[in-house]
Amino acid sequence: MSNVDALFLPLSIKSIKAKNRIVMAPMTRNQSPDNIPNEKSLAYYRKRAEGGVGLIVTEGTCVNHIAASGYPDVPYFYGQERLAAWGAIAQAVHAEGGSIVPQLWHCGGMRKKGALPEGDVDGYTPSGMNVPGKVNRHVMSKQDIDDVIRAFAEGARDAKALGFDGVEIHGAHGYLLDQFFWEGTNQRTDEYGGSLENRGRFVAELIAACRAEVGPEFAIILRWSQWKQQDYQARLVTTEKELEAFLHPLVEAGVDGFHCSQRRFWEPEFPGSDLNLAGWVKRITGLPSITVGSVSLDADFIPLPGEQVFRDGKPESIDRLIAMLDRGDFDMVAVGRALIANPDWANIVRQGDISGLRAFEKAMLMSLG
């Protein structure tokens, strides 16, 4: 295995002071009854911090909007009891020497009527579409847009008050923010639709509102992706020039770093260069970028036909990852399924021998181990 020293250099992103370059990727676990993180949740995150992770990004946690949630037993980021539970998790991670940010989330059109506890509330989308061409959800008004922006800003404010190290905004994977980005689901004719700049306006305004609540030094990270769970081949941009046009307003609004979601981190983003998505984002913006996508596993996460959960994966070499990090392509590396299987993934990798890593199996998703 390659020399792994680059993975264990410290990194600061404003208020985030990570002891190394390893990030726990956000992964929905559906293990929070009554939408409240519990003692099992606390132990789950603390174990990864104890295992050597530098920065933990929590599972998606829903902002204070009536239609933010779309799945059972996901945690919320509002309400006294829920926030107190999140504050205890942040303290536990800090006690183990780790940093932690909550991922603020709105499911948008991925919500279906009937999802509890909100029940008959419809999914909110820019144009009533969960998938391109099919209007079957609530079309957001300007007031709806303002309400969601306010909910994210309140979440960022509360994250800072609870002692988190920063905040990550979930703008990826076909959820609400990404549904505004994506031309396939954004067919609006007002200032929030049409051009690439207009389709990014909602998220830029949301980021600016978060920045106004937390001040200049509290770190705001945006997670985004080309692919959507509605269409794994979808792309927001197809050229470096389009990517620059997409990113610039977000940087101007106050983003401090980008979490660039790919299914396979090693895949180049544009022809003529071996840079991946995180590599291009760092080159264009100069800001820290996080790569992710099947790190140390031999198969990506896309479910097999007829299945709805992550695929199994066996341990795989990280030599290519280390080479890309050494070259300066990106600044941090997010690890997902491999950290479910191996809470001490970081400590094992630091020892220089990954033969002790366990394979990821779908059954591991059934509990918070």
Nearest-angstrom CA–CA distance, 364 and 9 = 30
Average pLDDT of the chain to the nearest whole number: 96
pLDDT above 70 coverage of the chain, percent: 97
Q: How confident is the model at residue 2 (pLDDT cuts 50, 70, 90)?
A: low
Measured between alpha carbons, how far is residue 272 from residues 125, 234, 240, 326 in Å? 36, 20, 11, 21
The reported pLDDT for the residue numbered 162 is 98
* Crossing angle of the two packed helices 240-253 and 201-214, in degrees rounded to 10: 30
- Is 175 designated active site? yes
pLDDT tens digit sequence for 78-131: 999 999 999 999 999 999 999 999 999 999 999 999 999 999 999 999 999 999
pLDDT tens digit sequence for 40-67: 999 999 999 999 999 999 999 999 999 9
Half-sphere exposure for 304 (CA within 13 Å, toward CB): 5
Nearest-angstrom CA–CA distance, 278 and 328 = 11
pLDDT tens digit sequence for 257-312: 999 999 999 999 999 999 999 999 999 999 999 999 999 998 877 766 665 567 78
Q: How much is the average pLDDT of 329-349?
A: 97
Q: How far is CA 109 from the centre of its chain?
A: 18
Nearest-angstrom CA–CA distance, 295 and 302 = 14
What's the structural domain count of the chain?
1
The reported pLDDT for the residue numbered 72 is 96
The burial of 135, by beta-carbon neighbours within 10 Å (0-12 exposed, 13-18 middle, 19 or more buried), is given as exposed
The H or E element containing residue 172 is: strand 166-173
Nearest-angstrom CA–CA distance, 294 and 315 = 10
CATH code of the domain covering residue 357: 3.20.20.70
Range of the domain at 145: 5-366
Q: How confident is the model at residue 363 (pLDDT cuts 50, 70, 90)?
A: very high
* Residue 28 neighbours by CB under 8 Å, 6+ apart: 59, 60, 71, 74
The reported pLDDT for the residue numbered 312 is 85
The reported pLDDT for the residue numbered 304 is 60
pLDDT tens digit sequence for 150-186: 999 999 999 999 999 999 999 999 999 999 999 999 9
Would you say residue 1 has pLDDT above 60? no
The reported pLDDT for the residue numbered 306 is 63
Sign of CA dihedral 90, 96, 99, 103: negative
The reported pLDDT for the residue numbered 308 is 59
Residue among 44, 175, 192, 232 flagged as catalytic: 175
pLDDT tens digit sequence for 209-249: 999 999 999 999 999 999 999 999 999 999 999 999 999 99
The reported pLDDT for the residue numbered 355 is 86
The reported pLDDT for the residue numbered 131 is 96
